Amino acid sequence: MENSEVLRELLTDPALTNPRRKTGDPWYLAVGGFVAAMVLGWHTVFYNSIIPGDGYSRVLSAYYVFLRPHPHFAAIGFVWNPLPSLLEIPLTLLHHWWPAVVTKGFAGNIVSAAFYGVGLANLYRALDWLRVPRATRWVWTLLYGLNPLILWYGANGMSDGMLVAVLLGMAEGLLAFFETDNIEDLVRSALWLAVGFLLRYEAVPVAAFAGLGLIIALIRQGRSRGYIEGMLLVFELPIVYIAGIWMFTNWLIMHNPLYFLLSPYGNLAQTGTGSYTTPATRYAYQNLFHSILMVAHWQILFFPVAIAIVAVLVGEVRKSHRGGLAIAGAAIGAPVLQVALLYMGKSADWARFFIYYVPFGYVLMAMAAQNVRRHRRVAVLAATVILLLGNVGTWKALQSPRWGTGDHRYIAQILKGQRVHPFQEDIHMASYINTHAHLKVLLDTFTTFAVVPYVKRPNQFLMTADLNFEAALLNPLGQVNAFLVPEPVGVGALNAINRQYPGLWAGNVSWTRLIKTFPGPSHYRLYAILPDAP
């Protein structure tokens, strides 16, 4: 009886009864997803005027490249991963005809929308390798695309949604490799992971833990040591190579291979100012258990991920051998990084740092459902309900000031149809510069990036990306005639002018004279450079 059941299962295997055929479905999803995210992005930018600062700053980094007569890609900087700005450069060149791609940062929304579409296509292909029926693939992919966190980050120009799409490409390649044993599929997965490093540094722990899962899975398959070492090299070398190039470029231009990590503007420096300290981060600081508990609590953003990880690990005990360990390893990579950063007091209490629960939750839930041998239809239905409830949970969390930190304000503004007025302080400062043609202002675009696109004559300022910025900072006389500086509190203390002249904002630099104080949260002041300046 047992043999007949095994035979029946083999004969009804979808790989035999319904062989995989080429389909245009991923392309339809990619294009449709791009259009949907563009519509939402257009609405939030041009109706609500919602422009997240981090995404906006990446667009302006791209804008700096061709702003001067001598273009240079180093103008992007070496603090944030370069790919978002590199992709936005061609779009910023359109600013003469369509100013909003720069002034409203809409170039970022276009790029994130494209990644949103790519993410849908990658998930669909991953579900195909898991032998999920076509109708179910469509349902689950559309549910994923409608997850509020995924849709919002597909439309808002931030790099978090871009990395999510790339990690789904990595997962698709891994699943294909375990299905076909074809090294080309593993190479594809590795290349997606390398691209991920150029988007966000969370790709590093994802690569580490996915690689560990890959090793264990191959050992359990009885592979030889040489084969395992070879596959691990194939999987990890692209991201190592890309990281090496990035470090070399940092060393070559900034004279420090770890500048991206140790920069005075980076995440470590910003969190060191205490600007992002909350009761939750204080709760986790220097307490490993509390750090783990906090990261575990953030699964409220998408609770199915916990159910799916447990279900897949149970399936792996039964030797399913379909890459579950590698995908589960990838799923815990970013959360483990957050545990370490929260323990060290080097992270913020923001929902977007845990967006990775959503894509891996969908892949692992699909894997768990497909691992059910009997009553598979019931398992698929149950998985669909759980994923739907997970989306509802995400929606509720984003509307909560506690669990939607960093995003709930934007969500509330969209739902209420509010029109906001971002960067008014920067626009006011730019307007003042525009009406005083004699001014040539030194400004650090780490804090004053939003001033740049509104200044009508770019020769009226000298910014961080300019090759002579450091020289003008140390010896301003004859190069600039004014300093624009924020109050040296919070991240304002990281401003290069404040770091070089700590007493300037308070008026304690003798060779400067206060011209104007600007209203706004950063309390900017404009100081004239006097003739006795260095």
The percent of residues in the chain predicted with pLDDT above 90, rounded, is 87
Judged against a pLDDT cut of 90, whether residue 11 lies above it is answered with no
The percent of residues in the chain predicted with pLDDT above 70, rounded, is 96
Q: Could you read off the pLDDT of 163-197 as tens digits, one per residue? A: 999 999 999 999 999 999 999 999 999 999 999 99
Kindly state the average pLDDT of the residues 115-121: 98
List the alpha helices (DSSP H) in 221-323. Answer: 225-254, 259-262, 267-272, 279-284, 288-297, 304-317
The DSSP H or E segment spanning 45 is none
Lowest average pLDDT, out of 54-63, 364-373, 501-510, goes to 364-373
Structure-block tokens of residue 341: 């950063």
- Cα separation of 82 and 77, whole Å? 8
Lowest average pLDDT, out of 8-12, 272-276, 454-458, 514-518, goes to 8-12
Q: What pLDDT, on a 0 to 100 scale, did the predictor assign at position 21?
A: 56
Sheet holding 461-463, edge to edge: 461-463, 441-443, 482-485, 525-529, 512-517
Paired strand residues for 46: none
What pTM does this model have? 0.93
- Cα separation of 400 and 412, whole Å? 10
- Cα separation of 494 and 500, whole Å? 10
Kindly state the average pLDDT of the residues 359-383: 91
Q: What pLDDT, on a 0 to 100 scale, did the predictor assign at position 317?
A: 81
Judged against a pLDDT cut of 90, whether residue 318 lies above it is answered with no
Judged against a pLDDT cut of 50, whether residue 371 lies above it is answered with yes
Judged against a pLDDT cut of 70, whether residue 10 lies above it is answered with no
Judged against a pLDDT cut of 90, whether residue 230 lies above it is answered with yes
